[in-house]
Amino acid sequence: MAFPDVRPRRLRRTPALRRLVAETDLAPRQLVLPIFVREGAGEPVAISSMPGVVQHTRETLKKTAAEAVAAGLGGVMLFGIPEHKDALGSGAVDPAGILNLAITDVVAEVGDQLTVMSDLCLDEFTDHGHCGVLDSDGRVDNDRTLEAYDAMALAQAAAGVDLVSPSGMMDGQVASIRHALDAEEHTGVGILAYSAKYASAFYGPFREAVDSSLSGDRRTYQQDPGNRIEGVREAKIDVAEGADIVMVKPALGYLDVLSAVRQAVDVPVAAYNVSGEYAMVEAAAERGWIDREPAILETLTSIRRAGADIVLTYWALEAAALLQR
Ligand code: PBG
């Protein structure tokens, strides 16, 4: 019997050899923790569809931000859950709105030690739950929504955010926000654009996390899950409009899009390991069907391997601790 003279297993023989030839790094600095902050909450509120994740109070938010610094995370992504919603999502623009207060709180707590990012979208603030304002026929009005996004960007910049993160998939949102920020001399505030964001069932648990009011779907603005070329196009458009970082979302079902986007642009690329991806692993682990910690690290490593420079994940703090071991 002829033996193979090509033996890739040689480089897998010891942990030291495997470490030497590892192609993909996973480090805390590459991880971003999404954080939910609930207006008026006296205590953290559990999210049943996302075991281990809570809606924070302003106090526990600050504590979590300090933990993120200690863990060496790359940053935090803030989401606000207001007590009152209206058709225009006015809470998003109000300097005393929960998200803007959360930004102020976190910046006061961590200063420049952590990159502070904020979701820039109306869906948490509108009573109809859409990412934009509606016209008289009930359709999302792209260009009127841009005006709201501009105002929201300015409120977030005034609160001290490092990166605003438009996630509403309106056409022209990056250019519009960039222009608004620059006109008010916020040239140092960056834009992390949710560029290729798909209309995904994997956002399900998030909708509970933010008490979403949405009925129906977002298919007139978020992308069709089957479209890769369009995802790359969206990312290129956003770079041309001034995005500093582009994002693909969700991550796991879209690793091919992530890889294609990484090759197509010359800015950092982020991926969002979304709520449904988190919940699937947690649920399987709870039943003893999957080995939780290796599954978490494999998930994040795979997203990195596909091309993400930055990974948003609800496991950020825990993964950082696992990587420290
Ligand atoms: C919109 C937004 C969503 C998520 C992040 N930003 C929900 C949506 O588009 O319906 C989903 C995040 C997740 O599922 O973890 N502001």
CB 168 within 8 A of CB 92: no
For 36-172, where are the alpha helices, taking DSSP H only?
Answer: 58-70, 98-110, 142-159
Instruction: Give residue 208's pLDDT.
Output: 86
Residue with tokens 């902050």, as numbered in its chain: 37
Collapse the DSSP code of 173 into the 3-class scheme (helix H, G, I; strand E, B; otherwise coil) and give the result.
helix
- Compute, in angstroms, the gap from residue 287 CA to the centroid of ligand 1: 26
32, 121, 200, best to mutate for ligand 1 pocket (most atoms within 8 Å of CB): 121
Question: Which atom of ligand 1 has the smallest separation from the CA of 197?
Answer: 9
CB 167 within 8 A of CB 120: yes
| 197 catalytic per annotation | yes
Residues in the chain, how many? 325
Question: Which atom of ligand 1 has the smallest separation from the CA of 119?
Answer: 16
> pLDDT (tens digit, 9 = 90+) per residue, 111-159?
999 999 999 999 999 999 999 999 999 999 999 999 999 999 999 999 9
**Topology adopted by domain 25-324:** TIM Barrel (3.20.20)
> pLDDT (tens digit, 9 = 90+) per residue, 241-268?
999 999 999 999 999 999 999 999 999 9
Instruction: Give residue 4's pLDDT.
Output: 72
How many C-beta neighbours within 10 Å does residue 211 have?
Answer: 17
| 249 catalytic per annotation | yes
- Compute, in angstroms, the gap from residue 197 CA to the centroid of ligand 1: 9
Instruction: Give residue 28's pLDDT.
Output: 98
Supply the residue whose CA is at minimum distance from atom 6 of ligand 1.
167
To the nearest whole number, what is the mean pLDDT of the chain? Answer: 97
As a whole number of angstroms, the distance between CA 278 and CA 285 comes to 11
- 203 ligand 1 Cβ < 6 A: yes
The pTM assigned to this predicted structure is 0.97
At position 148, the amino acid (one-letter code) is A
Instruction: Give residue 325's pLDDT.
Output: 87
Please pick, among 62, 63, 197, 236, the residue that the annotation labels catalytic. Answer: 197
Question: Which atom of ligand 1 has the smallest separation from the CA of 203?
Answer: 14
- Compute, in angstroms, the gap from residue 206 CA to the centroid of ligand 1: 6
Low-confidence ranges of the chain (pLDDT < 70): 1
Number of H helices, E strands in the chain: 11, 10
As a whole number of angstroms, the distance between CA 48 and CA 279 comes to 10
Task: Using alpha carbons, list the distances in angstroms from residue 159 to 3, 35, 68, 106, 244.
Answer: 66, 17, 20, 10, 20
Supply the residue whose CA is at minimum distance from atom 16 of ligand 1.
121
